[in-house]
Amino acid sequence: MEKNKNNYAIIMAGGVGSRFWPASRSHYPKQFIDILGTGKTLLQQTYERFLESFLPENIFIITNVAYVGLVKEQLPNMPESCILGEPTAKNTAACIAYTCAKIYKINTHAICIVAPSDHLIIDSHKFSDYVELGMNYAKKNHALVTLGIRPSRPDTGYGYIQFLENEPVPGIHKVKTFTEKPSIEIAKMFVETGEFLWNAGIFIWGVSSIRKAFKQYLPEQYDLFDEKLDALNTAEETETVRKFYEECKSISIDYGIMEKADNVFVIPSEFGWSDLGTWTSLFDISNKDESNNAIQGKNIFTYEVENSLINKSRSEDNKVLVVKGLSNIIVVDTPDALIICDKDKEQEVKQIVTDLKIKFNDKYT
């Protein structure tokens, strides 16, 4: 995919990654961690992937204002003007309204891809091909495009996209329905039909198209930013954005626009994707030993342990960690917190983090 002055990338990097506790913390969430043990954080990998196809000045990162310093530290060569800080978390619709309005002020012909900062993409070349297909379609059509992942299994942790068979152009389908995380029985039915894809939360559209969608489906957010449009890319931007975030409601782009719009299209995609939403998702894509254990960190010793994830990548190297006689567990050790959890119970980690926050404020979360 050739670099084009009208093509922009928006990387959303404001999440707290609570399901990756205790490695991921509110002051240092998982996108800033080398969770895969590659020597690069998830944010760095995402940025470098887009740098291959987009001009540096056309790549924007939107994150919580508290993480702006971390972004600058991890991406020191990134133009400072392309790092945007949200004063408070208001879900994905708000950050997309902000970044797309800012880009629209710069270039009304811009075509954008919006993607999370903390997903794994193994085949970056295939990913680039799908992105190019989507951007070319969005450039020629008033369309909101999303990349859907062909499911490898029935999974209740993802939303699903149902698509129609007809293709306006090869590889692109009209979206029929969106479904939030289903029960396992419904997920099995979805996979068996072959009509459903996992919702990866990766979107492609022209800035003019998404602004029209905001005007139609989220008019309050559209009006809030439209009346402040002249202040973007000026010294007044920070105060303008603060006021916008104070007034706008918290809603996802999926629920606010994508599930309602009638010009949504999906590209069925396969490029080695994982949202890395949980420790089990990391286990699934990790290299395993002969007992099917995924182990990351130094001085870890296992005896009669199988099908488990053991991670002390954020703990002291000289600490010895010994696990014996256990199966199907998650062990994550950090300097001030340790979790030992049945893999089948890990969806409850988010509630554990909430409980700890109530008991200890932000000390351990």
Q: pLDDT tens-digit profile of 48-81?
A: 999 999 999 999 999 999 999 999 999 999 999 9
Q: Which two tokens stand for residue 341?
A: 């959890």
Domain boundaries for CATH 3.90.550.10 within the chain: 7-274
Q: Nearest-CA neighbor of 202 among 254, 139, 243, 157?
A: 254
- Do 143 and 135 form a contact (C-beta atoms < 8 A)? no
| Cβ contacts of 236 within 8 Å, gap of 6 or more | none
Beta strand 144-149 pairing with 264-269:
parallel
* pLDDT value of position 146: 98
Kindly indicate the confidence band of residue 112, based on its pLDDT and cuts at 50, 70 and 90: very high
Kindly indicate the confidence band of residue 10, based on its pLDDT and cuts at 50, 70 and 90: very high
Q: What is the pLDDT of residues 140-149, one digit of tens each?
A: 999 999 999 9
Single-letter code of the amino acid located at 304: E
State the average pLDDT over residues 298-317: 93
- Do 221 and 229 form a contact (C-beta atoms < 8 A)? no
CATH, range 7-274 = 3.90.550.10
Kindly indicate the confidence band of residue 279, based on its pLDDT and cuts at 50, 70 and 90: very high
Q: Nearest-CA neighbor of 349 among 15, 20, 14, 16?
A: 20
Q: What is the pLDDT of residues 212-266, one digit of tens each?
A: 999 999 999 999 888 888 898 999 999 999 999 999 999 999 999 999 999 999 9
